[in-house]
Amino acid sequence: MTSATIGRSVVRAGAVTVLVRRRSVMVAGALLVVLAAAVLASLCVGSRYIAPLDVLRALPGDGTPYDVVVRQLRLPRTVLAVVVGAAFGVGGALIQSVSRNPLASPDIIGITQGAGLAATVALTTGAAAALVAPAALAGGLLAAAVVLALGSRHGLAARRFVLAGVAVAVALRSLTEVVMLSADPIDGLRAQIWLIGTLAGRGWTEAAYVAVTLAVLLPVLLWAGWALDSSALDDDTARGLGVRPVARRTGFVVTGVLAAAMATAQVGAVDFVALVAPQVARRLVRAERPPLLCAALVGAVLVVLADLLGRRLFAPTQLPAGVLTAALGGPYLLFLLVRGRRRVL
Amino acid sequence: MTAQLSTRALIAGYEDRVVLDGLDLDLPGGEFTAIVGPNACGKSTLLRTLARLLKPRSGTVLLDGAAVRDLPTREVARRLAVLPQSPLVPEGVTVAELVARGRQPYQRWWQQWSTSDAEAVREAMALADVDGIADRPVDTLSGGQRQRVWIAMTLAQDTDILLLDEPTTFLDPAHQVEILNLVHRLRSERGRTVVAVLHDLNQAARYADHLVAMRGGAVVAAGPPRTILTVDLVRDVFGLDCLVVPCPASGAPLVVPTWPVTVSPGKDA
Ligand SMILES: Nc1ncnc2c1ncn2[C@@H]1O[C@H](COP(=O)(O)OP(=O)(O)OP(=O)(O)O)[C@@H](O)[C@H]1O
Ligand SMILES: [Mg+2]
């Protein structure tokens, strides 16, 4: 029995031997190409079109006439879209694998709502603008902690954990509404836009926070990419194989929560990306659970495209990226559900 | 030395009930032990506790004299494999992939595959006769095929001890015999210790070296089938009136229910 029989190739690098799904490699390659194209398009298109070659010449910043537009306006926002999309994709993939539920994602289990409530409070009480993101991060993590505490009594069993999350999400959302209604209408509107999620007016700083988070989580993600293979097994079977399923699940969820909460804190709730990206990736790779790298790449493509479309579709009116991801993500998920041969739920 | 499992004053159960109440049991190393008993008498609970899937309330499970709870779970997984009674079938996983998961205890994320993994998976699939369906998703297989895949996964673990909860359930007669022959070979050719829950008393009597009869969470009798499998035991454990005659083929005790069959439900029914 060679690794080929299980659809994997063995990759050796020094003392490290990893198995990679053959299809993952192809899909990841294709997604990289798509992402590069989307990024280039995002850099070319704006209130003023810049030809791809000019964009490429402007990137190093040697004083072409497009330097400012490309390097200071479009590039930071596009890079932010890439890292945020990747974080959402990874976070969603981890949370969905643990919950064994393709409908579980940070925006369903309360993380987004926790961040939203905290951000709304910050925005409507006149807190400094710099405090909004940290508040949102704290809110998201706090909500996740509550969900984990509620779910951990039963060892983070899939159904419990999702139910706890949905309950927390609903409670937090209604609280947010109360705060918003009792606030000054202008502040309420700002909170509303934050809740939808937008990349407008954000750039390197936000991107750096998310990128550093992902970089710090990278070793855990490498481990998770392998350890997730036990997530489809029941606890008895996993324990029999020497796995500690509850500890693993906790590791996956905490990692997913950190990635998703950080991304949400920086750009708001860009809905559906964390939900759809892992499922799209899973179908592309034809795996039994969302593959992490491909989920990250699909997430990045989705957010870059959503931001690009939001900027141009009804120009000069700018739509927040979150509106587009919701508008694109919903129907796409429906399409998958209708078309998919396999049982999804 | 052959691997050996035993329990001392083992009390185990679930939130609302104690199932095993102070069990002292020795499962001989290098032998095939069959556990029999009526439904709900605690066979699976015993197996799960032996395999450290269920934490005992008190008492110990000893693996070669050492308390299992003090051993790292990965190390236990290299010495003891368990087939639970009804494992959840993951969706969209192929047979070969699932069998390969039996190699988890030998792998790390930086060491995900080795030649011994490949060899163990190949051999396990051949032994359980699933190499012909290696590429099929497990959730599209028949009950008996699935059962053989799970058995292959436990074999891939390459352990001295195998704990099998109803390995022959779902199998047609020929595959039942094949699995029991396989177990017999593992024991006699490789000195493996096998403990299996079986419902067919005659198969248990024919194949097992050691028989454990349970009722109501306690062991009623334990020993070689030829000495302990009697009319009284069957009536006591199952409430079933029967004749016990020597099997014409193997000489092992053969349980034949009397005609007309009368059943007086056992304590647990
Ligand atoms: N997860 C559980 N939670 C609570 N009680 C349980 C659980 N699993 C089993 N039990 C109870 O423990 C007792 C023993 O069950 P066990 O599964 O060990 O029986 P068994 O001998 O394996 O039966 P069978 O032949 O039907 O497989 C039964 O009364 C059963 O209802
Ligand atoms: Mg049972």
How far does the centroid of ligand 1 lie from the alpha carbon of residue A115, in Å?
44
CA distances from B223 to B5, B35, B239 (A): 15, 11, 20
Q: CA A88, CA A84: separation in Å to the nearest integer?
A: 6
Measured in angstroms, how far is the CA atom of residue A18 from the centroid of ligand 1? 40
Domain span at residue A140? 70-336
Tokens 């804190």 sit on residue: A265
Which residue minimizes the CA distance to atom 25 of ligand 1?
Answer: B39
| Assigned domain for A57 exists | no
Would you call B225 exposed, middle or buried from its count of C-beta atoms within 10 A (0-12, 13-18, 19+)? buried
Distance CA A151, CA A143 (A): 12
B33, B39, B40, B46 alpha-carbon torsion, rounded to 10°: 10
**Tally of CA atoms within 13 A in the half-sphere of A327 that contains its CB:** 14
Q: What percent of chain B is helix, strand and coil (3-state, nearest 5)?
A: 35, 30, 35
Distance B6 CA to ligand 2 centre (A): 19
Residue closest to B228 by CA, chosen among B34, B8, B1, B7: B34
Quick check: is A8 in a domain?
A: no
Is the Cβ pair B94, A244 closer than 8 Å?
A: no
* Residue A331 lies inside a defined structural domain of this protein: yes
pLDDT digit string, tens, across residues A100-112: 888 788 888 899 9
B28 part of contact set with chain A, CB < 8 Å: no
Asked if ipTM goes beyond 0.85, one says yes
Widest Cα–Cα separation across chain B = 64
Tens digits of residue pLDDT in A239-288: 999 999 989 999 999 999 999 999 999 998 888 899 889 999 998 988 88
Residue A32 lies inside a defined structural domain of this protein: no
Asked, for residue A290, whether it belongs to a domain, the answer is yes
Which residue do the tokens 């959730």 mark? B139
**CB within 5 A of ion ligand 2: which residues?**
B 44, 85
Task: Find the CB nearest B122 among A1, A15, A226.
Answer: A1
A19 lies in a domain? no
Is the residue at A51 inside a domain?
no
How many angstroms separate the CA atoms of A4 and B118, rounded? Answer: 10
Give B67-117 pLDDT, tens digit per residue. 999 999 999 999 999 999 989 988 888 999 999 999 999 998 888 888 899
Tell me which H or E stretch contains B144.
Answer: helix B143-156
Rounded to the nearest whole angstrom, what is the distance from the C-alpha of residue A80 to the centroid of ligand 2? Answer: 54
pLDDT computed for residue A314 by the predictor: 82
Strand partners of residue B27 = B5
Cβ-contact B215, B266 below 8 angstroms: yes
The reply to whether ligand 1 has any atom less than 6 angstroms from the CB of B148 is no
Using only the alpha carbons of chain B, give its radius of gyration: 19
CB-CB: which of B53, B111, B113 is closest to A236?
A: B53
- pLDDT string in tens for chain A (345-residue length): 466 667 778 888 877 888 888 888 999 999 999 999 999 999 998 888 888 888 888 888 777 888 888 788 899 999 999 999 999 999 999 999 988 888 788 888 899 999 999 999 998 887 778 888 899 999 999 999 999 888 877 777 777 888 888 999 999 999 998 998 888 888 888 888 888 888 888 889 999 999 999 999 999 999 998 899 888 899 999 999 999 998 999 999 999 999 999 999 999 888 889 988 999 999 898 888 899 999 999 999 999 999 999 888 887 888 888 888 888 777 877 776 776 655 443
* Tally of helices (H runs) and strands (E runs) in chain B: 9, 12
CB contacts of B119 in chain A (<8 Å) are 1
E strand or H helix at B117:
helix B115-127
Strand partners, B23: B10
Q: DSSP secondary structure string, A218-260? A: HHHHHHHHHHGGGTTS-HHHHHHTT--HHHHHHHHHHHHHHHH
Q: Is the CB of B218 under 6 A from ligand 1?
A: no
Q: What is the CATH number of the domain that holds A208?
A: 1.10.3470.10
Longest C-alpha distance within chain A, in Å?
68
Interface subset of B 196-235, CB within 8 angstroms of A: none
pLDDT higher than threshold 90 for residue B196: yes
Q: Is residue A100 part of a domain?
A: yes
pLDDT for A110-151, tens place per residue?
999 999 999 999 988 877 788 888 999 999 999 999 998 888
Say if A236 is an interface residue toward chain B (CB within 8 Å).
yes
Domain total of chain A:
1
